Amino acid sequence: MIKNILIDLDGTLTDPKVGITTSARYGLNKIGHPIADDVNIDWIIGPPLQASLAKILNVAVDDVLAEQALMGYRERFAVTGLYENHVFDDVAETLKTLQQQGYRLFLATAKPEVYARQILEHFELLQYFVHPYGSELNGDRTNKAELIAYIMQKEQLKPEECLMVGDREHDIFGARHNGIETIAVEYGYGSAEELDQAQPKARIKQFSDLLQHL
């Protein structure tokens, strides 16, 4: 019996592409590593950002260059990038319906919680969540499995009463690591191939389809 729904943010509730990619380019440019405009970096949306920046820079995740690029990213994102974002269709109505049906909703994002809360507040979605869980600015809990384990411990949740909804393999693997079933949204940033390999329990074409699966 599902009682608790953990929901990813980027690529699941909102499309943050402009804010994230523009801020990433800004951060990389700041450390002298500009990226050509025609290079697609949409793949960085969803996974822990410092790891993605390190991959672009071809350095270790904890390399000082990756850290500096992340600091540059945040400099722009915290002020402007947060709001260069839009909510997917039916999201607010679906969250409201789920809440009315008695489900407890928790945000579960690799994005720092301080930003996630601001985004939900800005788009008037915070009211539907028991709590918006995210990572710490120091990098703690950017790993989805760790984040979900933390939420379950804090909220005293049972895996069999939980469901995770997200768009990337990190959401599916992180939930599975904690014994939780998953539903993947197909309109986000996980490719069809990525989702085929990750094998969520179900896949939905729009957020409101979630209501039929519960």
Q: What is the dihedral of CA 106, 214, 202, 159, to 10 degrees?
A: 50
Catalytic residue among 8, 15, 167, 171: 8
Which residues are bridge partners to 186 per DSSP? none
* Gap between the Cα atoms of 162 and 6, Å rounded: 7
Short-list 205, 111, 105, 191, CA closest to 155 = 105
Are 115 and 77 a contacting pair, CB within 8 Å? yes
Q: What is the dihedral of CA 176, 10, 147, 118, to 10 degrees?
A: -150
Residue 167 is a catalytic residue: no
**Catalytic site positions:** 8
